[in-house]
């Protein structure tokens, strides 16, 4: 396998048996996640705010949460804390447009397992999801 093969291999995934909860309030970002994840065959649950994320997490068996932090009604930090109370074993990957120092620490303190800075590159997204879903 060449180096370029191994770099690109994470872009090809079959997560047909996985459920991913995507928490995102901005339509253009949803379109990106939909395009990126559709070919993995994962079941995608969509939440547009923190409150809806908690309700969906409680009512479904979820394998991974992709959590925007800037959300209406309830922010992603609060929603992550609640989700971790319900089930601490499910990975929560934060995604944020904020590049302020201390943001990552704030994420980890809320219980997030990992952190993606927007704009998210496809390769980074797939590498990070693979780390948690391909176990
Ligand atoms: Mg947002």
The full set of domains in the chain, from first to last, is 3-133 (3.40.50.2300)
Segment 63-70 shows an average pLDDT of 96
Q: pLDDT for 82-106, tens place per residue?
A: 999 999 999 999 998 776 778 888 8
Q: Give residue 26 CA to ligand 1 midpoint distance, Å.
A: 6
Q: How far is CA 44 from CA 10, 32, 99, in A?
A: 19, 13, 27
Q: Give residue 47 CA to ligand 1 midpoint distance, Å.
A: 11
**Interatomic CA distance for residues 28 and 32, integer angstroms:** 7
pLDDT for position 97: 79
Q: Give residue 113 CA to ligand 1 midpoint distance, Å.
A: 19
**Termini Cα distance of the chain:** 21
Segment 98-127 shows an average pLDDT of 88
∠64-129-103 over CA atoms, to 5°? 80
Q: Give residue 5 CA to ligand 1 midpoint distance, Å.
A: 34
- Out of 32-36, 94-98, 108-112, which region has the weakest mean confidence (pLDDT)? 94-98
Segment 118-128 shows an average pLDDT of 93
Q: Give residue 30 CA to ligand 1 midpoint distance, Å.
A: 10
Q: Give residue 2 CA to ligand 1 midpoint distance, Å.
A: 38
pLDDT for position 5: 54
What pTM value is reported for the model? 0.91
């Amino acid at each position: 396998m060449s180096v370029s093969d191994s770099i690109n291999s994470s872009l090809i995934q079959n997560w047909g048996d996985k459920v991913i909860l995507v928490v995102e309030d901005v339509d253009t970002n949803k379109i990106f996640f939909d395009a990126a994840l559709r070919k993995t065959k994962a079941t995608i649950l969509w939440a547009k705010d923190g409150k809806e994320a908690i309700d969906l997490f409680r009512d479904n068996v979820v394998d991974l949460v992709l959590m925007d932090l800037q959300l209406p009604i309830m922010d992603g930090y609060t929603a992550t804390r609640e989700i971790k109370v319900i089930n601490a074993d499910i990975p929560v990957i934060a995604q944020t447009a904020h590049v302020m120092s201390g943001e990552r620490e704030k994420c980890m303190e809320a219980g997030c397992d990992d952190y993606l800075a927007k704009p998210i590159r496809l390769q980074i997204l797939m590498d990070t999801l693979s780390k948690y879903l391909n176990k």
